[in-house]
């Protein structure tokens, strides 16, 4: 699994310009882009095993279905 995450990170964050503008100039540039990619990957990406919704949407729906309804 780690190799898969590393490959995704390299292809989605480092090699394309979605999470950064222009060339990498400092370590801070890489750190900032990495933080943005991690937030997207963990919260907003559409996930096929979740029915093509984001983990955040899935979690909200789960808690909406499991919490008691107020009358």
- The predicted structure's pLDDT at residue 71: 61
Question: Is 55 within a domain?
Answer: yes
Query: In terms of residue numbers, what domain contains 34?
Result: 2-66
Tally of domains within the chain: 1
CA distance 26 to 33: 11
CA distance 16 to 33: 11
- The predicted structure's pLDDT at residue 1: 64
Question: Is 71 within a domain?
Answer: no
Cβ neighbours for 43, distance < 8 A, ≥ 6 positions apart: 54, 55, 56
Question: Is 61 within a domain?
Answer: yes
Low-confidence ranges of the chain (pLDDT < 70): 1-2, 70-71
**Other residues' Cβ atoms within 10 Å of the Cβ of residue 30:** 15
46 close to 52: Cβ distance less than 8 angstroms: yes
């Amino acid at each position: 699994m780690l190799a898969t995450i590393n490959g995704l990170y390299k292809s989605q964050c480092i090699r394309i310009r979605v999470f950064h503008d222009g060339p990498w100039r400092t370590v801070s540039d890489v750190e900032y882009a990495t933080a943005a990619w991690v937030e997207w990957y963990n919260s907003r990406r559409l996930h096929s095993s979740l029915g093509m919704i984001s983990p955040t949407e899935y979690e909200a729906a789960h808690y909406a279905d499991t919490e008691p309804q107020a009358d």
